[in-house]
């Protein structure tokens, strides 16, 4: 029986050592990856991929690229969340085609606004040319911002951050879903991204957002009690 959302969040810990005797159900992990794809994403562009590693040889190679840390070395499966900012144009077209298929259920105004958004606004935000357009858009937003409210995250670094934030939200969806099935995870940022991309034969423009080790926890795999900064230090009621 799946846990409630609150129970799953409370259960989830970053587990550094997994039980070598306990395997994971492949279909359940895949279901959790499907849940990951339901995460909120900027402009619904879904600039992500999820690489589900189950092959023992690949697991070993990726573990080496994670510097042999226990969360990778003892993982029964690994999920690699990959950012594909370079796919913004095709993903915008996918959204537009979806809305075209639903055109009969939309008002003409709704459809035209959606069409304009994916044909005009998204290219304005994501299109670049060797950083030149990025700089021009930054200066444009800076100047216009003196006179009215203006969206300012328009340079190349900003759009990259936006894509990674969406991928991180998806990764969190995945980990909470795994916790709901009493499966454990550990998100890792210590890895050789170039070698992992080579091992997985990823597109050169792709970026690895997170490598997540998966398994069933050993008691010593949870490094101590959970500590969080006191809530009153981080909560501001305005």
Residue 1 has pLDDT above 80, yes or no: no
**Mean pLDDT in residue range 24-40:** 98
pLDDT grade for 153, boundaries at 50, 70 and 90? confident
124 or 52, higher pLDDT = 52
The answer to whether residues 179 and 206 belong to one domain is yes
Q: What residues contact residue 149 under an 8 Å CB cut-off, 6+ apart?
A: none
In a domain, 238, yes or no: no
Q: Are residues 11 and 28 in the same domain?
A: yes
137 pLDDT above the threshold of 90: no
Do the domain assignments include residue 78? yes
Domain boundary among 157, 172, 192: 157
Task: Express each pLDDT in 60-89 by its tens digit.
Answer: 999 999 999 999 999 999 999 999 999 999
Q: Say whether both 23 and 56 belong to one domain.
A: yes
3-state secondary structure 101-119: HCHHHCCHHHHHHHHHHHH
pLDDT band at 138 (very low <50, low <70, confident <90, very high): confident
Q: Is the pLDDT of residue 164 over 90?
A: yes
pLDDT tens, residue by residue, 183-233: 999 999 999 999 999 999 999 999 999 999 999 999 999 999 999 999 999
pLDDT at res. 151: 82
Judged against a pLDDT cut of 90, whether residue 142 lies above it is answered with no
> What's residue 145's pLDDT?
87
- Which range among 39-53, 61-75, 124-138 shows the weakest confidence by mean pLDDT? 124-138
**SS3 (DSSP) at 90:** helix
Looking at the structure, tell me whether residues 133 and 150 fall in a common domain: yes
What domain range includes position 138? 89-157
Residues 125 and 205 in one domain: no
Domain boundary among the residues 99, 134, 157 is at 157
Q: Is residue 193 part of a domain?
A: yes
User: Do 170 and 74 have their domain in common?
Assistant: yes
Domain check: are 167 and 114 in the same one?
Answer: no
Same domain, 80 and 163: yes
Q: How confident is the model at residue 152 (pLDDT cuts 50, 70, 90)?
A: confident
User: Residue 80 maps to which CATH number?
Assistant: 3.40.109.10
Sheet holding 77-83, edge to edge: 48-53, 77-83, 207-215, 184-188
Q: What pLDDT sits at residue 128?
A: 85
Assess if residue 175 is contained within a domain.
yes
**Do 71 and 33 sit in the same domain of this protein?**
yes
- For residues 218 and 102, state if they share a domain: no
Spell out the residues 6+ positions from residue 33 whose beta carbon is closer than 8 angstroms to its own. Answer: 50, 52, 79, 174
Of 3-12, 53-62, 147-156, the poorest mean pLDDT is in: 147-156
> Does residue 68 sit within a domain?
yes
Q: Are residues 125 and 173 in the same domain?
A: no
Strand ranges inside the chain, DSSP E: 48-53, 77-83, 184-188, 207-215
Last residue of a domain, one of 117, 142, 157: 157
pLDDT confidence of residue 20: 96
Q: Into how many domains does the chain fold?
A: 2
Do 72 and 188 form a contact (C-beta atoms < 8 A)? yes
Same domain, residue pair 14 and 50: yes
Which of 108-117, 149-158, 193-202 comes out lowest in average pLDDT?
Answer: 149-158
């Amino acid at each position: 029986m799946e846990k409630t959302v609150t129970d799953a969040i409370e259960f989830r810990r970053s587990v550094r050592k997994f039980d070598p005797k306990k395997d994971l159900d492949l279909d359940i992990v895949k279901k959790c990856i499907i849940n990951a794809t339901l995460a909120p994403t900027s402009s619904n562009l879904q600039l992500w991929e999820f690489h589900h590693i189950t092959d023992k040889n690949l697991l070993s190679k990726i573990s080496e690229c994670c510097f042999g840390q226990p969360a990778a070395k003892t993982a029964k499966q690994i999920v690699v969340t990959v950012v594909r900012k370079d796919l913004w144009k095709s993903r915008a077209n996918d959204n537009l085609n979806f809305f075209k298929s639903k055109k009969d259920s939309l008002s003409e105004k709704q459809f035209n606004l959606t069409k304009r958004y994916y044909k005009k606004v998204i290219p304005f935000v994501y299109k670049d040319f060797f950083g030149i357009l990025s700089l021009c858009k930054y200066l444009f937003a800076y100047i216009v911002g003196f006179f009215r409210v203006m969206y300012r995250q328009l340079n190349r670094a900003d759009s990259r951050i936006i894509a990674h934030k969406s991928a991180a939200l998806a990764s969190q969806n995945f980990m909470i879903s795994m916790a709901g099935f009493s499966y454990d995870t550990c998100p890792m940022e210590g890895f050789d991204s170039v070698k992992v991309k080579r091992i997985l034969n990823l597109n050169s423009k792709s970026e690895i957002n997170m490598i997540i080790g998966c398994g069933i926890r050993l008691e010593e795999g949870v490094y101590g009690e959970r500590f969080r900064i006191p809530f009153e230090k981080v909560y501001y009621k305005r």
